[in-house]
Structure 1
Amino acid sequence: MKIKKAEPTFYHILRKSAILLLLIGALFFLVLFSIGTDRIKSSDITIYVLLLLTFLLSFFTVYLVIRQALNQSNTQLLIEKEKLKIVNEFRESLSILPALLYRIKKNADGEMVVVYHEGKRAEEIGLTTENVKGMPIKEFLHKDIYETTILPFERAFTGNVVEFRVKTDTHIYEHTVTPIFDPATKEVIEISGYGVDITAHELANKKMKDLTEYDQLTGLYNRDKYAQVVERFIQEENENKQITILLIDLDDFKHINDTLGHSTGDQLLINVSNKLRELFLPDHDLFRLGGDEFVVLITHAITRDETINICQNIIQIIKEPISIGDHQLYTSASIGIAFYPEHATDSKFLLKQADLAMYRAKNEGKNNYFIYSKEMMDETIERIEMQKSLRHAVENQEFTLYYQPQIDVLTNDVVGVEALLRWYHPTKGFVSPLEFIPIAEETGMIQEIGEWVLRKACEQFSRWKVEGYEVPISVNLSAKQFKQVNLSVMIQDIIEETNMDPTCLTIEITESTSMEDVQFTISLLEELQNKGIEISIDDFGTGYSSLSYLQKLPINCLKIDRSFIQGIESRTNGIALVKTIIDLAENLNFSVIAEGVETIEQRDILSNLGCHKIQGFVYSKPITAEEIMSLMNNKIAI
């Protein structure tokens, strides 16, 4: 934009001043002429005064005129400078803001020509008003942009406000164009528009969409996207459509995370996702639902044999070793399979059925696959009912303790008892511990139940003691109980509250439990032993414990697992194994008890091998506390 100069105004005033001076000069000569030359020569002082006044008046008038001219000139300059400053600041603002402002009119030939064109984008491409004013827009706009803008512009010239987008290789602009009307004719004489650069906004939207649809670790689709894809496919009008989902869960992933760290776990997940990408064709969608769960979605018809073949391939590639840093990792996967519409008619239940099948695969030994069946749902419902009943049993004291005696084969004396939990259901009768203990473990109720067992066993010891019998009692702790916070404090409180002799209490833990965290096990068992409590390793021989750790564990007794006793009569190698365990216990100064002894022949073999403490049906099944008293009064004889 150009500004008017101040000089023309100044000259205009000077011209007026010159005219005024001429008039004053003419007046001055007129006065002289009126007075006459003779009177001037007569030296009349009045004439001189009159001439002087006329001169001074003329001089003062000229001074005022010139001063006014200078003042107006300076004022005009200041005004024009401010205008220029405002225009420049506006142009600078436009050059910074991600916007483009323009006005366009039509020339005599009907071509659209530029009236005004400013803004950051105009500066970037060198097409400011200064360069393109009066130029037809088709001469400087790129062909693609021209074709995008011409129709919206034409519509604006018909009197409409138009909004549209223009995309370049690097930018996206959102334009709004408004018609400018002639006040007299009401016709559109120009159009005025502005375009806002929304590139950053669109990128942010895309990133937000990625966050809502993609897993940020692996780059696969996420759980929300899974539901969208499946539901959209279900709603399509196609009578023969079929969906197959494979729910993949890595086996023992938590152990890798806990032992090697989450960074290693994340790298394992990335490696697995890459393997799945390489295995599947574009018509298979891959999802990571979270944690170590992945889904393969197949939206075209395949047979069950084809599905099984895919699962076998998945299991095979996941079994292959993965190198992460200094670690060579080996993992496996359990896969649950479900079909639409055979097993479910929406995305949520389809995934739920696959989940049930996947857990069946894990329960069957992992590294396997299962197809959902109605029987699985029935088992799940039964399991849920069992959980409810178990909670009711805890609240309503439906449990009781039975005791299985431990017998010294040399004297036939009862040398101890093992407390065993029994549940008498109001309608089902006795429920096997094999049915409810795993559920109690899963739900966490085992801690509450375990504390109840320990308390009742200690109370029973005190009642027997009052009647003159000190019967050592063994109580089992599950893996979850063993890791319970303040376990030692809880046991100590029960001992004090029930007046239990701690030297007559034996805590039994399984061999596998003792090996999960050896340092923790050693610390806790030492703490319990310091209270006078004895420690026994239950099911010994099935947990693959290291002999180097076994000699470090603060324990008192090994219980030979029943699996070594069954059929020992007919297995020479079975006898050798049991003999090895007995010798090992003797060398480490541990006592030894054989459990699950059912026949006299088994008892005699064990006795000859040096195991003199026996527990099993050969002497007694688990019995009530009253029956234990009767047994104490009448020595067992076989």
Structure 2
Amino acid sequence: MNLVYQSLATIPNRYAFLDRIEKSVSQNPDVSLLLIDVVRFSDVSSSLGYRAGDFILSEIASRIQLLLGENVILGRVSGDIFGAVLPGRFSVQQLQEQYYYLVHHFKTPIAFDDHSFIADFNVGAVANSPGNHNIHELFSRAEAALKQAKQNKYDNFHAIELQERLETSRRLTLKADLKRAFEQNELELYFQPKIDLRNLQITGAECLLRWHHPLDGVIFPGPLLEAAESYNMMNEMGYWVLENAVKSLLEFQQRGINIRLSVNMSPTQLYDSKFVENLNLLLATYQVDASNIELELTEDIALSNSLMVHKQLTELRSLGFHIAIDDFGKGYSNLAYMRDLEIDTIKIDKTFVMNLDDNPVNKAIIQATRLIAESMNADIVAEGIESLSHLHELRDMGIKTGQGFLFSKAVCLEDFVQLTYSDIMVGDSLSFQHRRA
């Protein structure tokens, strides 16, 4: 690779970097700032010497510049921390995607003599607010974001909004409470049974998150996920759910209940370059088979034209995980992408099931989805089954699996165990039970 920076002396230092930011912001304040800390770089200098350290830092700077583009302003703000100013104000998710892009492309080692170094990063990010020309405020917020990124358990990235949106005191309280929820064990997984519609036996369950708030009682996923997203904790929450789903699966197996658990994935996790590695570690830690876990992702993410997403899904399936598309039919994705996508399950969005009687198009969509699933050799699950008439109609259409309030709402682990060991009356005459091991 031709180095953009032949030596550290050619990289703008902190003061030159701040000067360039100031000039840029004075012309157009629509910028975003990344502070990129090279993880464990002190080990390189101490073991290989300063000459190797300087060379590796120069190559890291050159790679960052090439990856982010020539319009990006790059500087070295301290020994092993670089700053990068991106033109444009990015959302938190877009900034996080830049982080994953960097991490992914730095998996190729940097060679020096007979040694090699794989760079990993902590990244703090902030998007400038409209009309702000105070670069010191911008920089200090980026430093605060970097400090938080270093403290994160799973994802070494954190973004801070320079000027927080006006929020109700309720939402601000939820954000502050969320960290305490992790520490005080206030989060819990609930399980909604998946039913074989032919014999009404429990075949699996979807994991759904609940928050036992000390003042507000049980909080459902909506406000919980909103708080996690605004507080930049989606990845941490996603890993919490996965780990506790694996623990629950082990608990069920120890009680003789052999089912497959479904876990919802967030886009943040799919763009996490360490996602597959972390899942492998979970499986090894708890000695659980990947084939007993189904990872659900929304239609828009599954059918996106993202090489990163497709790569992650391919690796996950090769490990034995089942992949499901959730809320199918609800989005506006390009169905042509399905031809190249390998999945195991398609879940029909509940709006089509719950409105089966209102419009014949709903039935046609379900029938078309069944044909798509059969052609892909995938299973199909109908969500939102709430009446006996819908159950019978879905059976007549050849839908074999479903879930909904007709059978059970989501329940805690102990209540789910009881469901599997007792007959549950559905309507006046139907019952279902789990096929025990």
Q: TM-score range by the shorter chain?
A: 0.5 to 0.7
Name the amino acid aligned to 1:427. Answer: L
Residue in structure 2 matched with residue 471 of structure 1 by the alignment: 259
- Structure 1 residue 291: deviation in Å? 5.0
Q: Using the alignment, how far apart are the partners of 1:498 and 1:221 within structure 2? A: 49
Q: Quick one: distance in 2 between partners of 1:579 and 1:556?
A: 18
2:191 is matched with which residue?
Answer: 403
Equivalent in the alignment of 2:363: 575
Partners of 2:302 and 2:379 lie apart in 1 by 18
Query: 2:399 aligns to what?
Result: 611
Which AA in structure 2 matches 1:557? T
Shift of 1:265: 11
SS of residue in 2 equivalent to 1:397? coil
Q: Please give the residue correspondences for 1:36-55 in structure 2 after superposition, counting only pairs within 5 Å.
A: none
Q: Quick one: which of 442, 451, 455 aligns to 2:239?
A: 451
Asked if 1:555 corresponds to 2:343, the answer is yes
TM value normalised by structure 1: 0.42
- Which residue number in structure 1 is paired with residue 106 of structure 2? none
Residue 250 of structure 2 corresponds to residue 481 of structure 1: no
d(CA) in 2 for partners of 1:512 and 1:554? 15
1:411/1:387 CA distance change after superposition, 3 Å: same
- Structure 1 residue 509 corresponds to structure 2 residue 297: yes
TM-score, normalised relative to structure 2: 0.61
Q: 1:524 offset after TM fit, Å?
A: 1.1
Structure 2: how far apart are the matches of 1:506 and 1:527?
14
**Inter-partner Cα distance in structure 2 for 1:264 and 1:563:** 46
Secondary structure of the corresponding residue to residue 543 of structure 1: coil
Task: Spell out, residue by residue over 1:193-217, the C-alpha distance to the aligned partner (whole angstroms, 9 max, x if none).
Answer: xxxxxxxxxxxxxxxxxx8999658
Tell me the alpha carbon deviations over residues 58-105 of structure 1, each in whole angstroms, 9 at most, x when there is no partner: xxxxxxxxxxxxxxxxxxxxxxxxxxxxxxxxxxxxxxxxxxxxxxxx
Q: Measure the CA separation in 2 of the matches of 1:500 and 1:432.
A: 28
Q: Does 1:534 align with 2:322?
A: yes
Q: Which runs of 5+ in 1 are unaligned?
A: 1-210, 224-259, 267-289, 294-335, 338-346, 349-375
Find 1:385's aligned residue among 173, 176, 184.
173
- Number of residue pairs matched by the alignment: 296
AA partner of residue 469 (structure 1):
I
SS in structure 1 of the partner of residue 208 of structure 2:
strand
Q: Which amino acid aligns with 1:555?
A: I
The 3 A distance-change label for structure 1 pair 217 and 602 is same
Report 1 or 2 for greater relative contact order, CA contacts < 8 Å, sequence distance ≥ 6: 2
Contact 1:412 1:636 in 2 (8 A): no
Instruction: Show CA shifts across 1:597-637 (max 9, x none).
Output: 22222222222111121111111000111122222112444
Structure of greater Rg: 1
For residue 264 of structure 1, report the CA deviation from its aligned partner.
9.2
How far is the alpha carbon of 1:583 from its aligned partner? 1.2
Alpha-carbon offset, residue 220 of structure 1: 6.2
Counterparts of 1:406 and 1:220 in 2: how far apart (Å)?
A: 54
Structure-1 separation of matches of 2:288 and 2:326? 22
Structural mapping, 1:222-241, within 5 Å: none
Residue in structure 2 matching 1:585, options 346, 366, 373: 373
- Partner secondary structure for residue 568 of structure 1: coil
| Matched residue, 2:222 | 434
1:382 CA drift (Å): 2.6
Pair 1:219–1:571, CA change in 2 (3 A): same
| Contact 2:349/2:383, CA 8 A, preserved across alignment | yes
1:455 offset after TM fit, Å?
1.4
Cα distance between partner residues in 2 of 1:434 and 1:542: 18
Q: Who is 1:601 aligned against?
A: 389
Partner in structure 1 of residue 409 of structure 2: 621
1:91-170 alignment runs, 5 A limit: none
Q: Distance in 2 between matches of 1:480 and 1:217?
A: 29
Partner of 2:43: none
Instruction: Say whether the 8 Å CA contact 2:71–2:87 is kept in structure 1.
Output: no
**Matched-pair identity in %:** 28
What amino acid sits opposite 2:222 in the alignment?
A: L
Label 1:219 to 1:518 Cα distance change in 2 as closer, same or farther (>3 A). closer
1:488: Cα distance to partner?
0.7
Shift of 1:380: 3.9
* DSSP-derived class of the 2:319 partner: coil
Whole-angstrom distance in 2 between the partners of 1:515 and 1:453: 23
Task: Please report how far the alpha carbon of residue 465 of structure 1 lies from its aligned counterpart in structure 2 after TM superposition.
Answer: 1.2
1:63-74 aligned at under 5 Å gives the runs: none
- Whether contact under 8 Å (2:385, 2:402) holds in the other structure is yes
Contact 1:412/1:637 (8 A) holds in 2: no
Native 8 Å contact 1:557 1:592 kept in 2: yes
CA separation of 1:586 and 1:425: change in aligned 2, threshold 3 A: same
Q: CA contact under 8 A between 1:213 and 1:221: conserved in structure 2?
A: no
Aligned partners of 1:559 and 1:221: how far apart in 2?
44
Q: Secondary structure at the match of 1:593?
A: strand
SS in 1 for 2:291: helix
What secondary structure does 1:491 align onto? helix
The corresponding residue for 1:250 is: none
Counterpart selection for 2:310 from 517, 522, 526: 522
Q: Please say if residues 596 and 616 of structure 1, whose CA atoms lie closer than 8 Å, have aligned partners that are also in contact.
A: yes
CA shift in 2, pair 1:537/1:265, >3 Å: farther
List aligned pairs for 1:328-343, cutoff 5 A.
Answer: none
Distance in 1 between the 2:342 and 2:420 partners?
31
CA contact (8 A) 1:214 1:222 kept: no
For residues 322 and 30 of structure 2, what CA distance do their matches in structure 1 show? 52
Match of 1:280 in 2: none
Q: In the aligned structure 2, how far is the partner of 1:221 from the partner of 1:526? A: 41
Matches within 5 A, 1:267-416: 292=88, 377=166, 379-416=167-204
Cα 1:213/1:492, change in 2 over 3 Å: closer
Local SS of the residue matching 1:539: strand
CA distance in 1, matches of 2:289, 2:205: 15
Q: Deviations over 1:216-268 (max 9, x none)?
A: 58946899xxxxxxxxxxxxxxxxxxxxxxxxxxxxxxxxxxxx9867999xx
Secondary structure of 2:377's aligned partner: coil
**How far apart in 2 are the matches of 1:547 and 1:264?**
35
Structure 2 CA distance for aligned equivalents of residues 627 and 571 of structure 1 = 36
Cα deviation for residue 508 of structure 1 reads: 0.8
CA distance in 2, matches of 1:514, 1:539: 11
Q: CA deviation at 1:594?
A: 0.9
Change (3 A) 1:265 1:604: farther
The equivalent of 2:162 in structure 1 is none
Using the TM superposition, give the Cα deviation of residue 435 of structure 1 relative to its aligned residue in structure 2, in angstroms. Answer: 0.6
CA contact (8 A) 2:208 2:221 kept: no
For residue 424 of structure 1, report the CA deviation from its aligned partner: 0.5
Q: State the Cα distance separating 1:534 from its structure 2 match.
A: 0.6
| Inter-CA distance 500–429: structure 2 relative to 1 (3 Å threshold) | same
Q: Note the residue ranges of structure 2 that are not aligned, 5 or more in a row.
A: 1-18, 32-66, 74-85, 90-128, 135-164, 427-437
- Check conservation: 1:408, 1:614, Cα contact below 8 A: yes
